[in-house]
Structure 1
C-alpha cells in the first residue's frame, strides 16, 4: 500500500497582488517628478510668455500628475498608479483650498500689525484730521462688543428654545411653518434686516419716546444683528439636537425623569459642543456686518458707552469708513481694525469651546 502524497503548491516566479513585498515608488522619485514638472512648466510658461507664477503652478501640477501616473504604472502597476493619482488629486484640492485662506491670513497679519499699538486701542477718531497719523478704533471696539453682546443675549435663548420646540415638541403645521420661515430667514441679505429695524424701530417706535425724532442707537443695530443671528442658531441647534441618540432619551424616560428635565440634563449637555459652534458662527457673522450698523446706528467718531442713545460705530463699519477715506493713514487703520475683528472673534470662539469642553468633562 503506497502512501499518497499531496502535491505542494509552488509559488510563481512573479509575486501575487496580495504580496506585501511588492515594489514601491520611492519618495525621492516622487520629489524628482515634482521638481521636473515645475521646471518644465516654468520653461513652457516663461519661454512662451503666456503667463506668470500661477500658471506655472497649474501646469506643473498637471505635469506632476501625468508623470506620477506614468512612473507608478511602470514600477507598481496600473492599480497602484490610479490610487496614487487620486491621492495626489485629493491632496492638491486640499492645498488649493488652504492657499487662499493662508494668503488672506498672511496679508491680514502683515498689513494689520503696522498700526496695532496702544494709540490704536486707547483712542477714537474724534477730532482726528486727514493729516493726523494718530487715531484708533477704541470707539468701534466698544460698539462691536455692546452690539454683538446684546444681540447674543436676545438671540441665543430664543434660538435654542425654538430649536428645542421643533425637535422635541413640534408636530404638525405649526412646526413646519416655523422651520420654513427659519429657512427663508437664513438667506435674507443683511441690508434687509437693517431696513426692517429702520422702518419699525427707528422710525416708528423710538420717536414716541424721543419727542418725535428717530432714535439711531447701538441697540437698534443689535436688533438688526439679532434678525441675522436667529436662523443660524435655530438651524445649527436643531441639527445638533437631532444627533443626540434616542436611547439616551428613552433611558431617562424609563427612570421616570420628566421630559423637560431630560432635555435640560441629558439632551442639551450632549449637544452642547455643536450648539456652541453654531452660536459662534452666528456671532462671527454679526460682528462682520456693516450695512445694518450703518443704517440704524449711523456710526460715529466719538466714544459712546450707551447703546440706547446716539450714534455708535463698530469695527466692521470702521473698516468700511477707513478703507474709503482719503487720508494716507486710513488704510493702515482699516487693516489693523480688520485684524482686531478677526482676533476678537477667534478669542471668543476659543473661550466658548474651552468652556463647553470644561462643562462636558466636569459631568
Structure 2
C-alpha cells in the first residue's frame, strides 16, 4: 500500500510508457491516411487527423491497461525487497505470459532467494549471539570459583589444614571444567569449519565396549552407579571411524552416569538388528528426560537440569557433538526416555563386509 502522491507518481510513469507507444502508432496511422489521401483524394486527407487521434487514444488506453498494474507491482516489490520486506511477495507469482510477466516472475524468484538468505542470516546472528552469551557464562562460573577459592587461600586459609586441601580440590575441579569446555569448544569449531573428517574402517565393537566400560568404571564407582555391557562374542565387526564412535559412546555413557541415581545402572548394549545393521544403545535407569524437551537435548548448551549439570561439570556440548559425529556417518541419534524411569540413547552402524583378523592372544572378554 502507498500514499496518494506515490500512486500518482507510479501512474505517471506507466502513462509515459503508454505515451511512447501511442505516439508512434498515431503517427504511423496519420502517415498511412495521408498517403491514401494523395492516392485517392481529399476525403482521406480530412480523415487523417480523426484517425490519428482515435489510434492514439486507443493505443494509449490499451497500453495503460496492459502495463500499469504489472509495472506498479514490480516497482512495489523491488522497493520492499530493498527494505527487506517480503509480505506481498506472492502477488508477483504471475502466470507465464509475455516478457513483462516473465520479468515480474524474475522479481518474485529474486525476492524468494533474498527472503531465504535473510532468514538464514537472522538465524545465524541469533545463534552467534546466543553462543557467545553461553560461552561467556560457562567461562565465568569456573573462573569466578577459582578466583574466589584462590583469594581465600591467599588470605590465610592456605595455613589452615582443615580447609586448604578442600579448596585446592575445588580449584582443580573447576580447572577440569574449563579444560572440558575448551576441548568441546575446539571440537565444535572443527565441526563448524567442516574439518570433521571421518575415516571409516572395520573395527570390533566388543573390544571398544570393553575399553570404554573399563575406562569409565572409576567415574561410575565414585557416583555409586553400576556399569555393565552386553555385546555378543560373535558380533560381526562394524564400519565406522573408531575414535569418533568411541567419543560418541563415552559422551552418552558419561551423561548416563552423571544424571543417574545412587545405586543406579548404566548398560552398554550392541547387537545385530533385523535391518542387518549393528544397534548400539546406552541404557540407564536414571532421572529421565521430560517429553517436551527431548527434541532440544542436542542443542548447544541446552540442559534439562542446569544446576545439576553445572555441578557435575557438564559443558552442554556433549550431545551436540554426538549429533554431528553421527551425522557425518549418515546416522542419527535415537532417544527414548521417561522422566523418573530412565533413558535409552542409541544409533546404528553398518556391519563390515570383511571382519578384521583377531589376534590369537586376544584376552577373553566377559560382558556383564
**TM value normalised by structure 2:** 0.28
- Richer in strand (by share): 2
| Rg comparison, structure with higher value | 2
Highest RCO, 1 vs 2 (Cα 8 Å, sep ≥ 6) = 1
- Richer in helix (by share): 1
